[in-house]
Structure 1
């Protein structure tokens, strides 16, 4: 007869500190991420973080992005343009778009980039499901769509399995800035927002759902933090 060890402790979920911030300049948040990455490269046992925020209007390019996807002259733009170390093509950030920057050590989850991208998509799909929206993936592309409209983009950087950059979910932004680019290099599919389907939706409400979905999908314990991020 096999006797089960009922006293064996269940695995303890990994903690993930949640920082809910307001509208932060892109270059400030980018500097935070690089500092947090450097600290975790030196000390891989540091805690994970999920940073949720918005940005003032700004365009960002992935490390290999083509300038052909810009519909304006860089020197004539009213908004800043940054080339970053993330993957993916050009995108646009502005208020009303919820941006998430997970700083995770994938060695504690699963050291697999494709798995991580699909997990981030799953977080967003779970968030949309809370509002009765069906989030969809498109084979060969990264991101989340609703009824053929792209509502979320993902671009990441991983170094020694520590993640930076992340996802951007269009909740209720002014989408005019997207007309000045070929978003994510995809010219034949429209970009939209959740407000097209749920006019009364707010970023504040969606923040809560994204954090909950993140904890569920990654199997981690979300711990909301007050104040600002302790930058090393």
Structure 2
């Protein structure tokens, strides 16, 4: 069952674009994937505003559309791991509770028609979030994501169709990182995966959630609004 949690937006962040913020709890990967696909179709038809979903997933592995399956260290046919090949770019990654996932469904025609710009903006959301705890998030030339002291704490993978975005970013807050040992995360063999908990013991997703929302609003220049209806109702 999908658990929905509300994280109140105290007041809209100034901006000339509206973005509906769905604060969700633990959502099965396939459910969130289908929601994104439906939202993209709604936006292509001009039926919905921009959307940001913030949520967590039960343990699951995902492969980008061109990902190399040799980066998986287990046999998905013999072990009880959830695995999806999806339409985003990038290699294999892992989602689990304690990781805050952000799925923006945006019409980039209202922002910039530049995918590199969009990726850098998503990184900037994470970097600004980390700064609230005195952490310095950095980029690595030629790679996508955010690092702290050499540890990759945020992965980013997107799909854009007719300038409508889906998929997004995953920030390890207090995740059990053991699941990453069964893959070569994002195809990067020489940089370890980390979490904010390593640098800020005791931090949890509910502390980080509103900070990510505020950083997203500031970076993209949007006003966040609470939904009028839940996603399941909207997408019937």
Query: Which TM-score tier does this pair reach, normalised by the shorter chain?
Result: over 0.9
RMSD: 1.3
Q: Shift in Å at residue 227 of structure 1?
A: 5.7
1:231 maps to 2:211: no
Judge conservation of contact 1:19–1:226 (CA < 8 Å) in 2: no
**Cα displacement string for residues 160-197 of structure 1 (whole angstroms, at most 9, x for unaligned residues):** 00000000000001000000000000011000100000
- The SS at the match of 1:222 is strand
TM-score, with length taken from structure 1: 0.93
TM-score, with length taken from structure 2: 0.91
- The SS at the match of 2:144 is coil
Judge conservation of contact 2:51–2:105 (CA < 8 Å) in 1: yes
Match of 1:63 in 2: 65
Corresponding pairs, count? 221
Unaligned runs of 5+ in 2: 1-13
1:120 maps to 2:122: yes
Unaligned runs of 5+ in 1: 1-10
Match of 1:217 in 2: 219
Judge conservation of contact 2:15–2:221 (CA < 8 Å) in 1: no
Larger of the two Rg values belongs to structure: 1
Judge conservation of contact 1:50–1:101 (CA < 8 Å) in 2: yes
Judge conservation of contact 2:39–2:48 (CA < 8 Å) in 1: no
Segments of 4+ in structure 1 off by > 3 A?
Answer: none
Q: Shift in Å at residue 76 of structure 1?
A: 2.1
1:21 maps to 2:24: yes
Distance of 1:71 and 1:211 partners within structure 2: 34
